[in-house]
Amino acid sequence: MECFDLNILGCGSALPTTRHLATSQVINLRDKLYMIDCGEGTQVQMRRMRIKFSKLNHIFISHMHGDHCFGLPGLLSTLGMLGRTGELVIHGPKELEDYLTPILSLFCKELPYPVRINAVNPTTSELVWEDRSIKVHSLPLKHRLPTTGYLFEEKAKEPHIIREMTDFYQVPVKELPRIKRGEDYITPDGEVIPYTRLTRPAAPPKRYAYCSDTTFYEKIIPLIEGVDLLYHEATFGETDAPRAKETFHSTAKQAAEIAKRAQVKKLLLGHYSARYEDVQFLKEEAREIFPNTFLAYEGLRIPV
């Protein structure tokens, strides 16, 4: 069965606690894995959630704060010990190469697989990656240093063949791929059978937007408009709004305001400050503005 699932490995902020780990997520789209950020503890969480290391080919790093990238060295080493041979592509800011080059040369110089770094421009929205399943665009965010979010857009699936109709018109099997691509079928007698009569539309493609870390930033609204799921940082509650402004982070209510203006379908909060023992109040504050709000937590697997 085809899926588009989001796996939360960590949803804490800069200071790891026993309640939350540093930021990391894995998207499973049609059995292809795409990681977003790689804080400490990422590979252990992959084990706990039974996420297959061998299916991971792309890692997207939002910015060069440690809670979003300190897990990379250990993960790269582990992939090598597991016998990986295929290329791993790491997308992120240009400073990523400065960070990884000495690590790769000192600790991972005999990796059995190539690592390619794809520099992402944090000042504009652009296509970062595309394959047969997905398009990934960057989302410029506003933080203390250059930061980018990511928009994952599933590519449209082919329509489903209606077996009863193709049997009725005795459509040869070799014609089915053309019909699924939107071509009409012409019978041996010359009758044109519209492809719409022989197929039913596939489910609409899904979109997921990842926005962490950032202050309240209205410029992202048109870029994420109508997405099926928005993950937006909610580091602070309203009582700590001055601290959020000072550190270029967002409150739960600000995240909800972005979700409301962008008319997204569902909002997922994360990147919680270590000062909070219980973050349920963040959900309550956000739901005052955007009712369809939920909290991220380690081990959560949520369909997009």
Q: How far is CA 161 from CA 3, 30, 180, 194, 203, in A?
A: 19, 19, 7, 12, 13
Q: Is the Cβ–Cβ distance between 41 and 11 less than 8 Å? A: no
Residues 270, 99, 53, 158: what is their CA dihedral angle, to the nearest 10 degrees?
70
Q: Which amino acid is at 230?
A: L
Q: Is the Cβ–Cβ distance between 69 and 38 less than 8 Å? A: yes
* Catalytically annotated residue among 5, 31, 37, 67: 67
CB-based burial label for 76 (10 Å; 0-12, 13-18, 19+)? buried
Q: Is the Cβ–Cβ distance between 4 and 263 less than 8 Å? A: no
What contacts 101, CB < 8 A, 6 or more positions away? none
The angle subtended at Cα 92 by Cα 82 and Cα 260, nearest 5°, is 115
Q: Is 98 a catalytic residue?
A: no
What contacts 135, CB < 8 A, 6 or more positions away? 127, 129, 152, 153, 155
What contacts 184, CB < 8 A, 6 or more positions away? 192, 193, 194, 195
Which residues form the catalytic set?
A: 67
